[in-house]
Amino acid sequence: MAANGVEAEPAPPLFNTTFSTHSVSPLYIGPEGLSPVRLELLARRLRDTLVGDVVRGIQVAVGATNTPSGQVGSLRNVAIRRFELRTILGEEPLVADDAQDERRPGGIWIEISHERAAYAALLLPGLASSSSRQSTTVQFGEKQADVDASQFLHLPLLLLRMPQSLRAVVCEWLSTTFDCRIRKLSLGTRTLVSVMEDWLDVVGLPAKGPDLILSLGFNVPLVEQATTQDAEGDTTMMDDEGDAAGLRVLEVTMTSSDVSRFRRYGLAKGAFKSRWERSGDERQRRRLAGGNVDDGWAWRGGPTRQPLMEGLARYLEEHLGLDVFHPGVRVVQVSCGSFVLAPWRLKLVKGRDEADEGVARAAWAFVTRLGERVWDEAG
């Protein structure tokens, strides 16, 4: 890898690639930091780990299920690079605190190349609150001591594009090398809706192209099966197959013109007070929402507006009798021509003929929202 000349380095594949999402605790890099020489050393160590554990070791049987060596070929290269977000997202929109932008750490790109396949891991900074979590503490027993924050690197968002077997090895290597903890990041309703609304605010939907598809899931408690008693007094179940009846997913498809109308309607009418908000209680809300803090719609009381969801909620309430803002209803996927976002995966799509400025601003808002979700996870 090149020791100087950042422009000579290739850009990480953020666009047009499907990633799984993970959260990472601060990476311990020590007093020596991550110089180009150390990055080369770490890349060689990761390559040794992959060759020893995946090709000749115990992991080979697991990896052969999804990516056998006959399909992807032998391992050719492992590279670890630093990069600035503007190299893949474009120039950042103007912010009030330019000093904060200068302090923001660059990301880390891990590239694993085989003969016929390439895999990537991207460690990204949490853009939303990078300046508010600079102090790092460590606790020994009952005492809490400050440590040198310069020896830690805050890159809380990890995006992985690789099969499950390789993903497990890379995550274990990162945890061991940088003394960090990696967890799967579950993006809930709040993040999915916020990303969608931000994107529509910045660039909207093109007049021609794929429709916006909003997938709704339902976290409805199971109802006990009814029983009947036959003539001989034997008790039998009404549902012999044992399948719980009920709606699992509802897809709402909207064209570009429909999206514009719903947003105008939501802006004109304001926040919609659902039936649940008029009669429900918060304890019941939390139970129906499940374990994800992003679900349950309790966050709707904040200052951020969601005009598309407000307009759509009024429409579905009137025409289908569906209370979208019921805590048991959640958004499980948002897809359009520009991105696909689901609880555990994301994909940003960038066409060749799209306006770079608008897409860049929308992409920055996209990653910023994910950064907010990561900080909530860490908190």
Range of the domain at 283: 189-221+246-343
In a domain, 364, yes or no: no
The span from the CA of 158 to the CA of 12, in Å, is 13
The reported pLDDT for the residue numbered 223 is 53
Residues 217 and 166 in one domain: no
For 6-15, 163-172, 321-330, which range has the lowest pLDDT when averaged over its residues?
6-15
Residues 168 and 27 in one domain: yes
Residues 39 and 159 in one domain: yes
Residues 314 and 197 in one domain: yes
- pTM value surpassing 0.85: no
Residue type at 156? P
Residues 217 and 273 in one domain: yes
Nearest to 92 by CA among 82, 109, 104, 110: 104
Residues 128 and 271 in one domain: no
- What value does the CA radius of gyration of the chain take, rounded to a whole number of Å? 24
The arithmetic mean of pLDDT across residues 187-195, rounded, is: 92
Note the pLDDT tens digit of each residue in 252-273.
999 988 999 999 999 999 888 8
Residues 261 and 203 in one domain: yes
Work out the mean pLDDT of the chain and round it to a whole number: 79
Residues 193 and 336 in one domain: yes
- CA 201-207-208 angle, to 5 degrees, is 130
Asked if residue 130 has pLDDT above 50, the reply is no
In a domain, 256, yes or no: yes
Q: Give the residue with greater pLDDT, 367 vs 68.
A: 367
What contacts 251, CB < 8 A, 6 or more positions away? 213, 214, 215, 216
In a domain, 235, yes or no: no
Note the pLDDT tens digit of each residue in 37-78.
999 999 999 999 998 754 444 444 334 334 554 578 889 999
CA distances from 116 to 1, 72, 362 (A): 21, 5, 33
Number of structural domains the chain divides into: 2
- CA 158-294-344 angle, to 5 degrees, is 35
Note the pLDDT tens digit of each residue in 216-252.
999 866 555 555 455 555 544 444 444 555 678 999 9
The reported pLDDT for the residue numbered 170 is 96
Contact present, 185 and 59 (Cβ < 8 Å): no
In a domain, 354, yes or no: no
Residues 17 and 77 in one domain: yes
Residues 194 and 322 in one domain: yes
